[in-house]
Structure 1
């Protein structure tokens, strides 16, 4: 049956490619987290903003620690013209090493200002600098400062641009100093200082450095999190958005604490500037990726006749489609919470019934009690959110074109703190994967397991797994370190 689906591919998609010429895909790459469900929130909010603008045919997200993974995300793009934006605040290890490596760009080290372009599997892929280094971020800092203190003036107001900093990568602080200098040259503030959490000059020294009576602090961070909510206020002695310091060395001072720059809506403008500047890199006009289109046509065929995909049931209903948990089959629709957007499916699929984060969407932990009613176009996005990359990888497996990556190859590719997984014994890998992979619908092709048919051939829970996921890699690292089962650190 899988062979038949492949055989019919070209007759369907040839016309689609002509109808959708000059198609463009925009991919936003975030870090994500195995532990924190809010970590990816900023990235998909920007994706929603950019979709609303309609300047790209699709805007999708990929993650280092969530799904679709960096190894999967290019397969999920519908066009042959793809621009990839790293959603990071500065250049460093992830933007220069991890992301290019995982995307297969054949590039390591600093990314030139114009970005890099590669042709991968018939796609032109343009990879840009992280959004945080774009000069337009100075305007975002200024917008955040004015939100915190609308009447900031060059007579009595100092600005602190606050970065994380690190002694491991000198690029981490360059963007902070550059933006501080731009705003210093603007003359809008009496003083402008660049301070850091983890390198000198540290944020705790601010009372000795700043003379102005009013001080606006703008965290140059990608999202609201532990540092912006806990570390920075503690290091600065802040009690809220406005804090009075009557006994400072340079006299009484009032500190106005702004929101992080990375959550401001104007970042969407910066992303678009980066993406359009990358259009100048070598490449060609985009077309529909025919294999991608054929995969989703196979999914639509399943939905039109009604069928199972993992834990969900797909049913046609007079021009629209209903998606519900398969265990809710037969439950009256009035008794279920109704979802009407793909984003609604995304949000409910991120948490299990106990409220725990689901970084692996193919775990058998999808909560019950809902139904989604979606158009054909929305069904595609909704299923993509429910089961990222599963449609594309299942179709490729049926066509014998899904490449499997053995554990040893995955381990050799790891760098940084994950290098230690190369020391894992076969027994350790087998032990951890039995536990980590047990709740998953995927069949471990990378470990030598066989999958004769997929859900596209009528086997509901048959999803291929071509490579060990980042969650398993992280757990094997913990096993090798002797920490597995103990409280996890921030790297998860």
Structure 2
């Protein structure tokens, strides 16, 4: 039996909502992964990772992160070592080869529902960014490059929260369209910073939920697990 633990960062200031989200995500993935044991955890909730790993003899970590970076390369291995568990991790959610197609369909469907012509509209991919680590930014730019080839949007632009190019600046120069948060979970940036920046820029377009909330995400994760 495959033993998979879905791990997200979580929100240290308010860990319970995202902890609940990871539990529900694990249940949804398990429903599409017969013969596998699926659990969810966040790093922010004290005891969550320890509880999810309890009783497992061959756990595999699925990082519900948008990039392979500091948390997946350094912090997660440190936490596992602290717990005394040996586990290897799969590729993060944000670099799954099926994700560009999921994003494409989500954005085109949203444009159609809003009466937006993609050929004359922007797709703004909004990511975290980092003043320290480049992986977060690079992951967004890599995804934008793929989306430029896959979608008919006039422009596919990257906008960041923590570093330039800032979302407010990109949105102010936009002619409307779709803004997609390139985030796994709904937390402070998605709840506050992104809508605030769009309001400040008088953005006339559609703000979508973070891609990690898309209803097809459990199937995407289940397919990745099935490939192991």
Q: Note whether the superposition's TM-score is higher than 0.5.
A: yes
- What is the 5 A alignment of 1:225-236? 225-236=187-198
Number of residue pairs the alignment of both structures matches: 223
| 1:24 to 2:2 alignment | yes
Task: Choose between structure 1 and 2: higher helix proportion.
Answer: 2
- Counterpart of 1:94 in structure 2 is 71
- Counterpart of 1:204 in structure 2 is 168
- Counterpart of 1:137 in structure 2 is 99
- What is the 5 A alignment of 1:204-223? 204-207=168-171, 209-210=173-174, 213-223=175-185
Q: 1:85 aligns with which of 40, 50, 62?
A: 62
Tell me how far 1:174 sits from its aligned partner.
Answer: 1.4
- Counterpart of 1:165 in structure 2 is 129
Mark the CA change 1:203 to 1:55 in structure 2 (over 3 Å): closer, same or farther.
Answer: same
Separation in 1, partners of 2:18, 2:124: 25
| RMSD of aligned alpha carbons | 2.6
Deviation string 1:198-224 (CA, Å, 9 cap, x unpaired) is 1111111125543xx431100111222
Q: TM-score, normalised by structure 1?
A: 0.42
Deviation string 1:134-154 (CA, Å, 9 cap, x unpaired) is 232222322432353225434
| 1:55 to 2:17 alignment | no
Separation in 1, partners of 2:160, 2:12: 27
- What is the 5 A alignment of 1:290-369? none
Q: Is this contact kept in 2: 1:196–1:202, CA < 8 A?
A: yes
Structure 2 unaligned segments of length 5 or more: list them: none
| 1:266 to 2:216 alignment | yes
- Counterpart of 2:150 in structure 1 is 186
The higher relative CO (CA closer than 8 Å, separation ≥ 6) is in: 2
Matched position secondary structure for 2:180: strand
Q: Is this contact kept in 2: 1:144–1:259, CA < 8 A?
A: no
- What is the 5 A alignment of 1:37-76? 37-66=16-45, 68-71=47-50, 73-76=52-55
Separation in 1, partners of 2:30, 2:168: 40
Tell me how far 1:193 sits from its aligned partner.
Answer: 0.4
Separation in 2, partners of 1:161, 1:50: 26
Q: Is this contact kept in 1: 2:127–2:182, CA < 8 A?
A: yes
- Counterpart of 1:420 in structure 2 is none
Separation in 1, partners of 2:24, 2:8: 12
Deviating beyond 4 angstroms after TM superposition, the runs of 4 or more aligned structure 1 residues are none
Q: Which structure has the larger Rg over C-alpha atoms? A: 1
Separation in 2, partners of 1:269, 1:30: 17
Mark the CA change 1:185 to 1:149 in structure 2 (over 3 Å): closer, same or farther.
Answer: same
Q: TM-score, normalised by structure 2?
A: 0.85
Structure 1 unaligned segments of length 5 or more: list them: 1-22, 106-118, 246-252, 280-492
